[in-house]
Each structure stands twice: as C-alpha cells, then as structure tokens.
Amino acid sequence: MLQRSFLLRTVLFVSLFSMLFMSLYQPSLAYSTTWFGFHSLKQAGVTALFYIVAIGTLILSKLLLSAFSKRHDVTVRRILLWLIAEFFVIAAEYYLFTVYFKLGSVEVPQLLFRIPLCVGLILVIPYSIIWFYAQYKAKKEELELFKVTHKRETIESARQLIQFRDSQGKHKMSLSADSIFYIESQDNYVQIFYALEGKLSSYLLRSTTQKIEEDLADTSIVRCRRSFLVNTAKIVRWGKEHGHFAITLDQPSGKTITVTPAYYRTILTQLDGHQQ
C-alpha cells in the first residue's frame, strides 16, 4: 500500500468512486449540503473547482505519506491516523466551499452533521475496498512464496537458500540463489524478481539495497547499477548497446539492463568466472 504508484492509483479510484456516489446520492432531509452537480453553470463550476482542490489534496497527502514511509516505519495505526487527517482536511474544504459559495444549507448544525457524513462515506467505502484488495495481494504473494519455500529442494540447492529479512529483521521469504533473476531498488524497498513454476514473479520487501547486497555477498548476484542487482548466472547476452554496456537475462525474464561504468568490471569478472 505504500508504493507511490499504488498510492496515486488510490487517488484515481477514490475520485471516480466519489463522482459515482455523488451522482446517485439523494438526500432525504429537507435541507441539503449536497450541492454537487452540473444543472447550472455556477453549480458545474464550483463542483469542478472542488474536485480539483480535493484531488490535489489527496495527491499531496499520498506523496507526503510515501516520503514519510522512506524515513519511518509506517504501521496500520499511523496509516489510519493519516487517513483521518485526510478526512478532516477535505471536510473542512467542503465546509468552506459550502459557506463561501452559499450552496445548500449553510446552517451550522446542518453542516456539522451532514458534511462529515457525506465526506466519510465518500472516503471510507473506497478506502475499505483498497485495503481488502491490498490484503488479498499480500496473501497471494505469501501463498506463492510458500510454494517456492516448501518445494522439494535437492540437498545441493537447499544449502544455497537465501534468507530475506525486512528492515526490522523479520524473516519474510527464502529463495534458492538460482531462482532469482534480479532485484530492483524502490526507495526503502526492494522488489525481488524470481522464477516460480516457469513464470517470473516478484515480491516487494522493505529493506535497503545495501543490506540486500551484503546478504548476497557470496552469491552470483551482484550490483550492476545503483538501483539494480542482477544474477550473473542468468545472463545470456552482453555487449554494447547504444554506446552502453548492457546485459540481457534468460527467460522467463528476458530483461535488458544497462550496466554503469562503476560496476562494469565486477560484472565481467563474474561472467569470466561462470565461463571457466
């Protein structure tokens, strides 16, 4: 849930859900704070302006959360507090729009009751869906890792099992070195790409590239650029491409990665060792 791309997709999902919700929502009370719509020029203009402000608020919130997660451990409690803060900020923006543009009911008791209810429904429902989806994805990854970890291994490959631990030292997964293709750094996370039943799978682990590199010091997996570690045993082609040294990995990955000059000799040494 803390990947920047996933966070920004949640903004899109919440925005689309809120549009659908507000188009279907029909207040039952005589006075309404629900002024969304496009029935008049003023109403359409204010609706569009509020959406711009609210979506901007959500995007800023997600970017700040992503930056915060790079320096601090983000617990479920902290995420909930962050979402509650989002709720109050957007509710305050809704209140200011309602009062300033004199839309719907401007009676304070009505506003204090109806606005939190409306904004709460708009945010709670999509965030709940997102939460369950993230849990489903996590469980699916754990099941895949269970298959990998508990597969029958030969004595030789069992000795080469690599234990991956997160930034708090908790064991998350075990993989044989020959199943790993490459590892990509993503801020305070690393994404491990490995073979599972003939297909390329991946797992996102909260750890630093430096820590992973230290754990893999005695393996064929080495750094080839600042944000990539590659299993040199999986390289099937290497040479100059567009003026840069590049390597191509075996299937099912098939990925081509440019090697920076700082790691050029390291890769060549590993390749010479495999050839010998």
- State the 10-residue block means of pLDDT for the chain, 276 residues long: 72 81 55 58 78 87 81 77 87 81 61 70 81 79 63 48 81 83 86 85 85 84 89 87 84 88 83 60
91 and 55 in one domain?
yes
Rounded Cα gap, residues 181 and 195, in angstroms: 7
Rounded Cα gap, residues 146 and 138, in angstroms: 12
Tokens of 235: 């390289």
Rounded Cα gap, residues 219 and 159, in angstroms: 12
Domains of the chain: total: 2
Whether the CB-CB separation of 126 and 118 falls below 8 Å is answered with no
Rounded Cα gap, residues 237 and 116, in angstroms: 59
> Which residues constitute the domain of residue 75?
4-146
- H helical segments located in 150-206: 155-158
**Of 112, 146, 180, which residue sits at a domain end?**
146
Secondary element (H or E) of residue 236: strand 235-241
187 and 117 in one domain?
no
Q: Tokens 């490459």: give the residue.
A: 182
**In terms of DSSP bridges, do strands 228-231 and 235-241 run parallel, antiparallel, or are they unpaired?**
unpaired
114 and 38 in one domain?
yes
**Of 111, 146, 181, which residue sits at a domain end?**
146
Beta-carbon contacts of 4 under 8 Å, excluding residues fewer than 6 positions away, are 62, 63, 66, 187
262 and 163 in one domain?
yes
Per-residue pLDDT of 230-267, as tens digits, reads 998 898 888 887 778 888 898 888 888 888 888 888 88
50 and 78 in one domain?
yes
pLDDT of residue 212: 87
CATH of the domain at 229: 2.40.50.1020
